[in-house]
Amino acid sequence: MSGGFAFPLRAGAGIARAALLALCAVGLALTALGAAIPAKALVAQILLERAFDRSIATGRVQKPWPWADMAPAARLSIPRLGVDRIVLDTGSGQAMAFGPTLLPGGSRPGQAGTTVIAAHRDTHFAVLKTVRIGDHIMVEGLDGVSRAYRVNRTEIVRWDRFAIADDGERSLALATCYPFEATLHGPLRYVVHAVETAQPRAPRVVPVQLVRGSAYLSARRLPTIRPRSSLAQSAA
């Protein structure tokens, strides 16, 4: 009688092995995808940095690659943490795969009002969880002028309840999804607030040789400044 069950048992073992191999393949694919996202962000920042320097040197906004639908708008750095990021001029979800972005409703770097910058919590703005009150943040605009800010508070807020003060003061808000360890999209945002603390530094001079070669031009503007800025797109 036992011989009659040999084929079903072998078939069951084969199905189990196939299922195990399929699970392993899915796991490897997800691991590769997870590794590709940070790599994509790193390579993009190198190209964006070059485009940012070309923008300062030529006085015209430069695309990081010919088919890009965004361009660099500023350089963000947090000296204590060794952070240096190129900020993009559009707040679209696709642009955030390449770097932090300016959100509509906020001011441009150097303008009166609050500049709102958002990025993903698992790449460019994962560092926000280690930012402390009193940390200094530098923002360099396309004019080559660097402005200093000091972190004065943080908050956790729903994306649709975030508002910026319309008081004419120059300030900065860095936003990302919260909690940092979560993997699913949620309504909460972690926001680091900073206020301008000193007179802007003199414009940075970029050597002419940095702008030789092909130059891709783009003139993009954020929508008209509003007293409220949406954090809906600063997703994980």
The per-residue pLDDT for range 37-87, each reduced to its tens digit, is 556 667 888 899 999 999 999 999 999 999 888 999 999 999 999 999 999
For residue 187, what pLDDT is reported? 94
CA pair distance 164, 171, nearest whole angstrom: 9
For residue 208, what pLDDT is reported? 46
For residue 20, what pLDDT is reported? 53
Percent of residues, the chain, with pLDDT higher than 70:
66
For residue 78, what pLDDT is reported? 97
| Residues sharing a CB contact under 8 Å with residue 82, sequence separation 6 or more, in sequence order | none
Q: Are the C-beta atoms of residues 158 and 230 closer than 8 Å to each other?
A: no
Q: Are the C-beta atoms of residues 153 and 209 closer than 8 Å to each other?
A: no
CA pair distance 181, 176, nearest whole angstrom: 12
Residue type, 80: R
CB atoms within 10 A of CB 213: 8
Q: β-strand 101-102 against 136-141: which pairing, if any?
A: unpaired
56 phi and psi, to 5 degrees? -65, -45
Give pLDDT < 50 ranges for the chain. 2, 7, 22, 24-36, 208-228
For residue 144, what pLDDT is reported? 92
CA pair distance 76, 172, nearest whole angstrom: 11
CA atoms within 13 A on the CB side of 102: 28
Q: Are the C-beta atoms of residues 189 and 159 closer than 8 Å to each other?
A: yes
Q: Are the C-beta atoms of residues 220 and 89 closer than 8 Å to each other?
A: yes
For residue 229, what pLDDT is reported? 56
Q: How much is the pTM?
A: 0.72
Strand partners, 115: 172
